[in-house]
Amino acid sequence: MSTDIQKTNLLGLNRQALRDFFLRLDEKPYRADQVLKWIHFNGVQDIHAMSNLSKTLRDRIAEIAEIKPLEIAYENTALDGTHKWVLRLSDGNCIETVFIPEKTRGTLCVSSQVGCTLNCDFCSTGKQGFNRNLTTAEIIGQVWVAVRSLSQNNGLHDHAITNVVMMGMGEPLLNFDPVVSAMDIMLDDFAYGLSKRRVTLSTAGVVPAMYKLREISDVALAVSLHAPNDELRNVLVPLNKKYPLRELMDACRDFFKDEKRRYVTMEYVMLAGVNDSEMHAKQLINLLKGVRSKVNLIPFNPFPNTIYKRSDDQVIAKFQQTLMDAGINAITRKTRGDNIDAACGQLVGKVQDKTRRSLRYQKSLKTGLA
Ligand code: SAH
């Protein structure tokens, strides 16, 4: 057989896709379960190491498929233990993945796109422009690398990762199918076996895709709200012009309508003098009436040349108290990993920008228009 065929990367196949793969080889579906376990649970990269498959079958698989992980370009640990990987993709782009250890859990923050198209004003990923969507293999590959790397380098055992949040670079709902397939693998008992409450997709509010997501996936949902009225949200999250707050809130109400004990997490970045007043808190309380939700206040993480500043701690505390007094479950997210640029909104990777937005942004900085 010719060697220049494009081999299938088995890393990117969820259980159903692996079953189809084996069906085409005229093999039984349970082969998919075995292989899924070898790749994700055991971390095997060599098809010939899959000892419960016959030698003939291993040879056949190896001819047409491979397990191709992502390459670590750079990694670093922050003073607080937060660990960041810069991962190089085969086309030279780089993405970032971050692990945040806490006492009772370990959260992995995973990217869904190279850059982002949404251009939220306070997010540095947006300023890098956009190159392309990640494949399923590149999304789940971040979990694969993180699990292996943590157990090798830090002496942590394999299951240090208890939670995954799709809160890295990119808008996951604009890369729908690969993100859903990768989350299937995160939840699969033969792979990472994470509970549906511990895998969270975060969206800036791609409303039609939110309705679609609830039909086919069980994962938890976070929404990047950041403003309690359309006028301000149009500026901070320009996607709001397409899907305004009324539509977004309808989609949030709908999301867990059949699961009375689940809440949508509302992310709200605290920007000094922009969205952090008592009036904004009151508007937010009104907006969230009848939406089963909890609020995560995120102190703004600065990046070079941004016009925004973080709200003072007392302002954040007061905002949180106002929400809590109105019966809203509100917490303030601790800033983690900021001394290595691994905090929310600081992930930039290395994006070969196709939108020319990063170029325009650099120019506007020079002319003082940013
Ligand atoms: N596109 C998705 C996934 C990104 S999640 C989304 O918007 O939800 C990353 C989270 O960090 C989002 O809530 C985002 O709004 C927030 N964020 C972005 N830049 C930030 C910054 N500079 N400081 C704090 N939070 C930021």
Q: What is the mean pLDDT of the chain?
A: 93
Percent of the chain with pLDDT over 90: 81
Residue 370 pLDDT greater than 50, yes or no: no
Ligand 1 in reach of 301 Cβ (< 6 A): yes
Q: Is the pLDDT of residue 369 over 60?
A: no
User: pLDDT per residue over 274-292, tens digit each?
Assistant: 999 999 999 999 999 999 9
Per the CB < 8 A criterion, the answer to whether 84 and 142 are in contact is no
pLDDT recorded at residue 365: 67
Q: Which of 75-79, 164-168, 343-347 has the lowest mean pLDDT?
A: 343-347
Please tell me the predicted confidence (pLDDT) of residue 155: 60
Q: Name the active-site residue from 94, 96, 116, 123.
A: 96
Predicted pLDDT of residue 367? 58
Bigger pLDDT: 260 vs 186: 186
Kindly give the distance from the C-alpha atom of residue 265 to the centroid of ligand 1, in angstroms, as a whole number: 13
CA distance 83 to 99: 5
Using a 6 Å cutoff on CB, does residue 123 contact ligand 1? yes
Q: Is the CB of 38 under 6 A from ligand 1?
A: no
The per-residue pLDDT for 340 is: 80
pLDDT at 3: 53
CATH class, 8-66 region: mainly alpha
Distance from the CA of 346 to the center of ligand 1, in angstroms?
A: 9
pLDDT score recorded for residue 107: 96
pLDDT of residue 157: 52
Atom of ligand 1 minimally distant from the CA of 306: 22
Look at ligand 1, atom 20, and give the residue with the nearest C-alpha: 345
Q: Provide the residue ranges of all domains of the chain, joining segments of one domain with +.
A: 8-66, 71-367
Atom of ligand 1 nearest to the CA of 167: 5
Q: What is the pLDDT of residues 340-358, one digit of tens each?
A: 887 777 776 778 888 877 7
Q: How far is the CA of 19 from the centre of ligand 1 (A)?
A: 36
Exactly one of 109, 120, 252, 344 is catalytic; which is it? 344
Residue 346 or residue 156, greater confidence: 346
Q: Does the C-beta of 269 come closer than 6 Å to ligand 1?
A: yes
pTM (2 d.p.): 0.94
Pocket test for ligand 1, best of 240, 267, 308 (most atoms within 8 A of CB): 267
306-344 pLDDT, tens digit each: 999 999 999 999 999 999 999 999 999 988 888 888 777
Active site residue 138: no
Query: Going by CA atoms, what residue is nearest to atom 12 of ligand 1?
Result: 224
Q: Which ligand 1 atom is at minimum distance from the Cα of 267? A: 13
Of residues 209 and 160, which shows the higher confidence score?
Answer: 209
Q: Are 226 and 237 in contact (CB under 8 A)?
A: yes
| Top-tier CATH class for 71-367 | alpha beta
Q: Whose CA is nearest to atom 18 of ligand 1?
A: 345
Q: Does 75 score more than 50 pLDDT? A: yes
Question: Is residue 127 very low, low, confident or very high in pLDDT (cuts 50, 70, 90)?
Answer: confident
State the pLDDT confidence band at 54, using cuts at 50, 70 and 90: very high
Torsion angles phi and psi, residue 55, rounded to 5: -60, -40
Instruction: Please say if the pLDDT value at position 189 is more than 90.
Output: yes
Is 278 among the residues known to form the active site?
Answer: no
pLDDT at res. 368: 52
